[in-house]
Each structure stands twice: as C-alpha cells, then as structure tokens.
Amino acid sequence: MQPGANSTARRSIREPATLPVTLLVGSRLRETEYRGYTVDISLEGARIRSGVRLKRGQVIAVVPAEGRGFAVWSRVIWVGSSGTDRAGLAGLEFLPKQHESVSGWKA
C-alpha cells in the first residue's frame, strides 16, 4: 500500500451476492452446522448473515449450497455488535489453499 493511502482500502472488490451457505463451526469430530447466507463476496472473503455467535479470529468452514461437497476454510475478521445495524453479520477472510472435501461430514 502506498504511504498515505487509505488503510481501509479493500484488496479485492466486493460484489453483492445472496447465496445460501452452511457454516461448520467446531472441530471435524464435533462440528455444528448453522445456516446462513452471503451478503457480499470477493475473491478473498465474504460478509455473511447468520444466527450463530462467531468470535473474531475463529476458523470456520463455509459450505456453499450449490456445489456441496467442499468447504472453504475461513477466518472471522469482524463480528457485528448486537443492537446495531451490523448485528448478525460477520466478515470472513478465505484462507489460502484450504478447500477441503466434506464427504465425511454432515454437510
């Protein structure tokens, strides 16, 4: 980034996209499924809406409803505060080269 450049500049353009997803939260041996959907998406991450309480820094798997059978591992970058217009939203960063089959999972 150039000196003096806006530090909040995005690395890639977000596109509005409402796509159903399943979030796998926990470990492979004991994951819990939650339904949600994307609000927008980019090459490097997504903003999602779901009823699950996520924590900043948490690693989760995102399974698209279309093309089920693989998961995209993602890190939670931010979580919207309750009582605000961002409640129920979270920002995810896709982890590089972390796509994985979920054939053995419930997804």
| DSSP letter assigned to residue 1 | -
Model pTM? 0.79
Is 7 or 13 the better-scoring residue by pLDDT?
A: 13
* pLDDT per residue as tens digits for the range 60-86: 999 998 866 788 999 999 999 999 999
Sequence-distant (6+) residues with CB within 8 A of 95 are: 59, 72, 73, 74, 75
- 6-10, 64-68, 102-106 — most confident range: 64-68
Query: What are the backbone angles phi and psi of residue 35, rounded to the nearest 5°?
Result: -90, 150
pLDDT score for 10: 63
